[in-house]
Each structure stands twice: as structure tokens, then as C-alpha cells.
Structure 1
């Protein structure tokens, strides 16, 4: 069975050649991952050689346009979708906000939008504002307050012919549970409800397979998948046809521009091609010459290796957290959840734990992580302090996780007494 070559992986990230990068165990990956060297190389190349307005006749401008096209086409190839279906925005939050406004023709006075208590606020707030403007109904699919999980039977009771849009996260950035998207989709389709999925927390741990997911819109962030700070939104053609374009009128004929409400970051888009370079490099290191293997297949195979490594690390972490006086939010085993673990002590503030881990050369963070409504429902009293979140990536090592466990154990003992 293939295993991830961590030494090789870490060689692909320049940060691990720096003093701090070698010293600090970075366990705050859900807030943004380290950037692969291949991405940095492309970004540097753009800024160095052709940081000009693209798509002009002169050779410098021409190169800029070609680099942007390669970045856009690489992202489409990684997801195995036509380039016309990919909208690139400044962030997933911006993409969600743009999408909600574009849904104005669908969301009318006698209609309903369902969102979940489990979601990041980015996939709630825009829908809430849209419903308020349109006089539509916003309904919450509530979580179990103890587990934070969603029950499909509850959704079945909520859905009705009035429900035009259902919004759900692929996996929670707090409890880590991976939601059964296609089972949710089957329920939604019975009412002709469009399904919008937030994949921001999921994509860093398992590369999205949009061939298998029955979704109308899927959104995630490339700055959490080793790339530049961009949001990716893939919208099904039939859904896009129902939406109100948010672009300049003369860009309406171009599907990938219809939901682009702002001028794009040219260099950041060009650098996205480096994510494809990274997946290809790791694939070839593990499986030899890639030949005619499509890029999306390379990404899925490599991502499976990454996920396997992360699952082993999270299993170790969860197993040792059970021995500490903390509440683990979500499942206490790695089954059915991503390597993204939130916890809290009844006696020690989450910020004190995050600050204390610095002495152990471990970087983690506390807060509500924009899942304010979920933590509120799960009984967190101080939402500013929130929870301590330990989020792993495939380049993390067992030693870093062991150091985190040791630090938490000592800090909890010291700060409780």
C-alpha cells in the first residue's frame, strides 16, 4: 500500500526551508494552508515578467493573458469541468455573496431558502439578507446540540415545493463531520430545489470529485488548498441560466464572467496553475511517469494518499485527547470526519491554550471561526473565546502532533490549578 512520502512533500513547500517553518508545527491549516513552491514560482514569474494588463497585442501583455488562461484551465482540469463553468473570485465569501444576489429572480415572496446551523457564516448571511430583501422565508436545518450533526429526517420534514434553494456545508469547519451530499441532493430533487454546497472545509482534505456530486453550485478556496487567495465556484449550466448576471453587460455572453462581480487578481489566477503542477509532481514521485493520466485523476489519487496520512494523524490526536479534561466537538474518532478538530476546557479559556502552545512551538488558534451559530447552539458561552481548533494538513508530521498533545496536557494541568 502506498504511503505519503512526507520528506518529499515538505520539500515542495519553501516554508519548510525557513527557520520558523522548520521549528513551528503549523496546526492552523483550516484558516489557510502553506503555499506550494510551484504556485509561488508561477506567482513570482507573473510579477517579475508580465505584471501588465493582459490580453493585449504586445508580447508582454500576451504572456500575461496566456498565464491567466492556463491558471483558469488548470483549475477546470483539476475539477474535470468545462472552463466556462468556473468562476474565480477574491474569496469564497465574495462568491457566495455574489451568488445570493444573482439568485434574486428565484427567491421571491412565497419561496423559501434553507440553510444549516452547521455552516460557516459565508453560506448563511448572504441568503439571510436576500430573504429579508425579497420577503422570502429563511429556514434553518438545525443541528443536534450535543453532536453538532445534521439529521436527514429533519431535512425531509423541512423541504417543500416552496423551497427553491438548499445550502449546506460538505464538512463542518468545527466538528469535521462529512455530510452525505448526494443523499441530501436526492431529497432536494424531489422538490426541484437547487443545492448549493460549501466545500471550503472539505477540499483541503479530499479533493472534490464533481463527477460524482449532484450539486448545482460548489464553492471552495484555493488559499486553503496550497494556492493563492482565490475562491472557486463551479455552477451547473442549468442553474446559471436561472441567475441574474452580476457582471458588466458586455461580459454576459461569457459564462465564466457572469458571476464575476469584481476585477480579477490576474497574478493570483495565473498562479493557480501551480496547484496542478504540485499534484502532478507528487503523483509522479509516487507512481512514476504520468503519461496520459488526466489531471483530475492525478489530483484524486494524490489526495487519497494525503487523506490517509491526515486520518492517521487525527486518529492519534483524538485518541490522546480522550485522556484530557476537554470536550471534543464532533466525533471522538476519525471515522466520517476530516482532520479538523475543535475542543474546549470547562476551566481554561481557549485563548490561553492557543497562546500557551506557542511555548511548545505549535501554532493553533481559538475563536468561533465564523461558525458562530453552530457553537452558540452547542452551548459555547463566550463566542469570542470560542474553541481551540487543531487543523491538520498532509504536510504535518507525527512529531508535531505529539508535541501538541504534550503541550495541551501540561497546559491544562498548569492553568487549571
Structure 2
């Protein structure tokens, strides 16, 4: 199918002032209909969920629609979709619940490729439980995380493997199914951070092999909240700390306090916006077609951008075979912060840092400072690439 990026860009009020947004890995811009869904929910009659009042029924329907939308996006059961304040908050809560069953002699496997939200919560939970932590390294020269770098650390004592589906810093996409097979052979769980991945590729949680999958709608055109998805039967086996009068039903037992109905309405609208970019007899089918088209569009732009950066003498810190359209770069003779500030002055958003992937930044030899991150989104276009490369060429020549 053809992908009309110029038509799609008309949906984003933030693009009207001419800013080039290369900061999508930190959060995408918001389409008009997503913002409208939030506003409509907040200005309509809304109450706590019940079946007796129109406002209560509206709240209930908003929640069910959001679970169904995420179910279609990730190909999971809506009854296993948990909403929370953020992916980080959900991971902390889930790590505490799982670690309640760990003890000395148990092990968990983490990686240096991950965002710290899929590292520190597990390290801290393991430390409290007396479990051991094994940390897998990726190849800093290529950005690749070989499956055996993880699977060689898995033993009969492994209880959990936590791994990103795509690095938010350098874009690397590990071979999750291979790692999942070994994880499940020893009866361990695979917890997958899909925050960066979900924005750039069709997702099927079962095909990836994830037992638990987390993501953030604000990375794929939606509002700021977090999502955790798992088999409802698995969630039934877990008993998190909760308030006594709160529901013990799944998935509600994992959701602390009243849900933000407006954010859930915005999440549904974001999924529907993505689905509108594709075609199919169902929303799931339309999403698969849409995300395949988005991936093709973004990969083409990434190849253009990467070629241009290399011609300018930039160092790119991952050349992994499978990547998202996210490049971490450093330019000769120019500090990362100078590049960031100079681009910002020209209306080009391209921040510098480690973006909470602190273990990844250290392993790349960048310390905690990271480098300049250039990320693409479904609304990125060739003009954005042209403007960025032209401004970078001026900076490099000036140096």
C-alpha cells in the first residue's frame, strides 16, 4: 500500500510551525483527534465506573474500548491489558510482585542494551530477595546483542529474563524468539520492554515469545500512560499488594486507584489513528498493514539519514542488522550539546544524552553522557532529513 506522509502530517497541529522533530524516541507529537478524544472525555459527563448511570457507563465503556484497542495493537487478550502511570511504574510494581517468590539461589538475566526501567527495578528486587543478577553484554562495535550472549547466562535457576524488543538509544532489535525459546525451556519468564519497538513495527506478543510485554502510548501518538500485557490466566496467579476494598479481578487488581479515563480514550484514538493508515477487514488487520507501511517509510528515511551522516564524518554507534529508525551519532570536533543547541536554534529538535539507557551508554564507551539521538516517526519526511543534514553540514564545516 502507498503511504501518504504529507496527508498524515496535516493531522498534527505541532508540525504547523515548521519544527523538525527528531525526538520521537522520547515521545511523539499528538494528532488532533487524539487531543480531541481527551478533551471530549474530560468535558462529557464522567463518573467512577458503574452500570447504573450514563456517566458511569461511559467510564466503563472507555476502559473496555482502550483494553480492546491495545489488544488489537499487540494481538493480546483485552482481559490481560493493565494500565498504569508509566511503563517504569508498572515494571516496578510487577517486579515487586514477582520477586516476592524469589530467594537465595534464584537468578535473573538482564542486558546492558536496555533502558534503565528494565534494569534497575529488577536489580533492586533481586537484591532484596537475595537472588543473583547476571548481565548480558552486547557488541559495542556493532550494537548487536547476539542471542547466545543472553542464552548462555540462562540456567536451571533462572526465574526471569528481562530484555528490550528494541534499544531506545541505538535502535538494535534483538532476536527475541530465540531468547524466548531458551528462557521457556528452563521455566523462566520473559519480560519484554516494547516501549521503543511498538512505535515502529507490527507487534505480536506471542510471536515474540514475551510472557509480559510493556509499552507506552505516548511513544505511538498517544497520551502519557503505561501498558502491561500478559495472559489473563498468568495474571490470575499473581497477587500484588493492593487496597482491601479494590477489585481483585484481573486486570483491575494490578491497577492502583481510579484509572485516567481521558488518557485511555486518547490511547484508543491513537490506536485508531495508526489503523487508519492501513486497510483490512478488522482493526488488527488494518494495524498490521499500517505498521508495515510505517516501517517501510521510516526505514527508507533512516537509510537516507544514515548515508548523509556518514558523509559528514559522523560516528554512528549501532549498525545492527535489525534496527528501528533511531541513530545515536557523534560529530568530529563538535560537542554533543553544541550540536543539540545549534539544531534547536534552527527549529530542529535532536537532543543529546543517554536517555536513561545508562548501561548501554557506558558500554559504548560514552560514559553517562551518551551522544546525539536522531529518531524518526511516522510523520517524518524527506524535507526534515534535508533540513537536518544541511544544518549539520554547516556545523561540521564551521568546525
TM range, normalised to the smaller chain? over 0.9
Q: TM-score, normalised by structure 2?
A: 0.94
Match of 1:369 among 355, 358, 379: 355
Q: Determine whether 1:354 maps to 2:353.
A: no
Number of the residue aligned with 1:390: 374
Post-superposition Cα deviations, 1:357-410, rounded to whole Å, max 9, x if no partner, equal 1233211111110011111111114x24x2100000011110111111111121
Q: Determine whether 1:310 maps to 2:294.
A: no
Number of the residue aligned with 1:11: 10
C-alpha deviation, 1:251, in angstroms: 4.3
Q: Determine whether 1:299 maps to 2:287.
A: yes
C-alpha deviation, 1:270, in angstroms: 2.2
Residue correspondence of structure 1 range 3-402 to structure 2 within 5 A: 3-16=2-15, 18=16, 20=17, 23-55=18-50, 57-251=52-246, 253-283=248-278, 287=279, 290=280, 293-331=281-319, 335-381=321-367, 383-384=368-369, 386-402=370-386
CA spacing shift, 1:244–1:65, aligned 2, 3 Å: closer
Kindly indicate whether the alpha-carbon contact (under 8 Å) linking 1:56 and 1:62 is maintained by their aligned counterparts in 2. Answer: yes
Post-superposition Cα deviations, 1:54-83, rounded to whole Å, max 9, x if no partner, equal 436332333233223222222223333222
Q: Distance in 2 between matches of 1:243 and 1:347?
A: 53
Post-superposition Cα deviations, 1:275-300, rounded to whole Å, max 9, x if no partner, equal 233134323xxx4xx5xx22112111
- The number of equivalent residue pairs is 399
C-alpha deviation, 1:192, in angstroms: 1.2
Q: Distance in 1 between matches of 2:286 and 2:99?
A: 38
Post-superposition Cα deviations, 1:140-198, rounded to whole Å, max 9, x if no partner, equal 01122322322222323211011100011001112211111101111112211110000
Q: Distance in 1 between matches of 2:302 and 2:21?
A: 14
Unaligned runs of 5+ in 2: none
Q: Distance in 2 between matches of 1:157 and 1:42?
A: 47
Q: TM-score, normalised by structure 1?
A: 0.91
Kindly indicate whether the alpha-carbon contact (under 8 Å) linking 2:48 and 2:258 is maintained by their aligned counterparts in 1. Answer: no
C-alpha deviation, 1:242, in angstroms: 4.3
CA spacing shift, 1:367–1:231, aligned 2, 3 Å: same
Q: Distance in 1 between matches of 2:55 and 2:382?
A: 46
Kindly indicate whether the alpha-carbon contact (under 8 Å) linking 1:168 and 1:196 is maintained by their aligned counterparts in 2. Answer: yes
RMSD over aligned CA atoms reads: 1.9
Q: Distance in 2 between matches of 1:39 and 1:207?
A: 20
Local SS of the residue matching 2:14: helix
Kindly indicate whether the alpha-carbon contact (under 8 Å) linking 2:67 and 2:79 is maintained by their aligned counterparts in 1. Answer: no
Q: Distance in 1 between matches of 2:275 and 2:172?
A: 29
Post-superposition Cα deviations, 1:326-353, rounded to whole Å, max 9, x if no partner, equal 2101007xx5111011111353211110
CA spacing shift, 1:165–1:362, aligned 2, 3 Å: same
CA spacing shift, 1:154–1:60, aligned 2, 3 Å: closer
Post-superposition Cα deviations, 1:222-249, rounded to whole Å, max 9, x if no partner, equal 0001111111111234542443323334
Local SS of the residue matching 1:101: helix
C-alpha deviation, 1:211, in angstroms: 4.1
Local SS of the residue matching 1:390: strand
Number of the residue aligned with 1:407: 391
